[in-house]
Structure 1
Amino acid sequence: MATAATERLSRLIFNVRHVPQLLFPPSPSTQHNEAINVWTHLETALILLLRFQQLSQRVDFAQDPHAQPLLIIIAASITYLTFSTLAHLLQAKSEFWHYSFFFMDYVGVAIYQYGSALVHYYYTIEPSWHERVRPFYVPAAVLLAWLSCAGSCYAKYRYHEATQLLGRLCQEAPSGLAYALDISPVIHRIYSTRSAARDDPALLYHKCQVLFFLIGAFFFSHPYPEKWFPGKCHFFGQGHQIFHVFLVLCTLAQIEAVVLDYESRRQIYSELHGDSAHNFSALCLFTVTCSVLTAAYMARKVKHKLSFKEE
Structure 2
Amino acid sequence: MLTIKLPRLLSVHQMPRVFWEDGIMSGYRHPKSSALDCLLSSFQMTNETINIWTHFLPTWYFLWRFLLLSYTLDFLGQPYNWSLLVYMMLICLYPFTSSVAHTFSSMSAHARHICYFLDYGALSLYSLGCAFTYGAYVMPDRWINSVIHHYFVPIAAFNTFICTGLSCYSRFLEVDRPRLSKILRTVAFVHPFVFDNIPLFYRLILCFGVDCNWNEAIPFHVYHLFFAVLTGFLFTSHLPERLAPGRFDYFGHSHQLFHICAVLGTHFQMEAVLCDRSSREAWLTMHSQPDSLASTLGVALTALLGNLVLICFFTATLLWSPRANSILQSHIPGDAKIKEH
Same fold (TM over 0.5): yes
Query: How far did residue 104 of structure 1 move?
Result: 0.8
Query: How far did residue 108 of structure 1 move?
Result: 0.4
Segment drifting more, 180-189 vs 71-80: 180-189
TM-score by length of 1: 0.84
Secondary structure of residue in 2 paired with 1:30: coil
Measured at CA, do residues 231 and 84 of structure 1 come closer, stay the same or move farther in structure 2, by a change above 3 Å? same
What CA distance in whole angstroms lies between the structure 2 residues aligned with 1:221 and 1:209? 19
Q: Which amino acid aligns with 1:148?
A: C
Query: How far did residue 267 of structure 1 move?
Result: 2.5
Segment drifting more, 77-86 vs 183-192: 183-192
1:61 aligned to 2:75?
yes
Number of residue equivalences? 284
Query: How far did residue 195 of structure 1 move?
Result: 9.2
- Which aligned pairs between 1:20-39 and structure 2 lie closer than 5 A? 29-39=43-53
- Which aligned pairs between 1:195-274 and structure 2 lie closer than 5 A? 200-274=215-289
Assess if the C-alpha contact under 8 Å between 2:55 and 2:95 holds in 1.
yes
- Alignment root-mean-square deviation, CA: 2.5
What CA distance in whole angstroms lies between the structure 2 residues aligned with 1:214 and 1:189? 18
The one of 149, 155, 160 aligned to 2:164: 149
What CA distance in whole angstroms lies between the structure 1 residues aligned with 2:284 and 2:210? 22
Measured at CA, do residues 306 and 91 of structure 1 come closer, stay the same or move farther in structure 2, by a change above 3 Å? farther
Q: Percent identity?
A: 24
Secondary structure of residue in 2 paired with 1:57: helix
Query: How far did residue 308 of structure 1 move?
Result: 9.2
1:94 aligned to 2:108?
yes
Assess if the C-alpha contact under 8 Å between 2:141 and 2:213 holds in 1.
no
What CA distance in whole angstroms lies between the structure 2 residues aligned with 1:197 and 1:212? 23
Q: Report the structure, 1 or 2, having the larger helix content.
A: 1
Cα displacement string for residues 106-127 of structure 1 (whole angstroms, at most 9, x for unaligned residues): 1101110100111111101112
Q: Which amino acid aligns with 2:316?
A: R
**Looking at CA atoms only, which structure, 1 or 2, has the larger radius of gyration?**
2
Secondary structure of residue in 2 paired with 1:201: coil
Q: Which amino acid aligns with 1:30?
A: Q
Secondary structure of residue in 1 paired with 2:112: helix
- Which aligned pairs between 1:1-311 and structure 2 lie closer than 5 A? 29-130=43-144, 131=146, 133-134=148-149, 136-156=151-171, 158-191=172-205, 192=207, 200-278=215-293, 279-305=295-321
TM-score by length of 2: 0.77
Assess if the C-alpha contact under 8 Å between 2:132 and 2:296 holds in 1.
yes
Query: How far did residue 135 of structure 1 move?
Result: 5.2
Segment drifting more, 278-287 vs 187-196: 187-196
Cα displacement string for residues 216-256 of structure 1 (whole angstroms, at most 9, x for unaligned residues): 11000111011222220111111111111100001111111
Query: How far did residue 154 of structure 1 move?
Result: 1.1
Cα displacement string for residues 119-146 of structure 1 (whole angstroms, at most 9, x for unaligned residues): 1111011122343623542232111111
Query: How far did residue 176 of structure 1 move?
Result: 1.6
Extract unaligned runs of 5+ from structure 1: 1-25
Assess if the C-alpha contact under 8 Å between 1:159 and 1:166 holds in 2.
yes
Assess if the C-alpha contact under 8 Å between 2:58 and 2:263 holds in 1.
yes
Cα displacement string for residues 57-79 of structure 1 (whole angstroms, at most 9, x for unaligned residues): 11011211111111111110111
Measured at CA, do residues 289 and 28 of structure 1 come closer, stay the same or move farther in structure 2, by a change above 3 Å? closer
Extract unaligned runs of 5+ from structure 2: 1-39, 329-341
What CA distance in whole angstroms lies between the structure 1 residues aligned with 2:212 and 2:174? 50
What CA distance in whole angstroms lies between the structure 1 residues aligned with 2:174 and 2:82? 40
Measured at CA, do residues 215 and 257 of structure 1 come closer, stay the same or move farther in structure 2, by a change above 3 Å? same
Query: How far did residue 194 of structure 1 move?
Result: 5.5
Query: How far did residue 268 of structure 1 move?
Result: 3.1
Query: How far did residue 306 of structure 1 move?
Result: 7.9
What CA distance in whole angstroms lies between the structure 2 residues aligned with 1:125 and 1:135? 11
What CA distance in whole angstroms lies between the structure 1 residues aligned with 2:204 and 2:297? 27
Measured at CA, do residues 82 and 155 of structure 1 come closer, stay the same or move farther in structure 2, by a change above 3 Å? same
Measured at CA, do residues 225 and 306 of structure 1 come closer, stay the same or move farther in structure 2, by a change above 3 Å? same
Query: How far did residue 271 of structure 1 move?
Result: 3.9
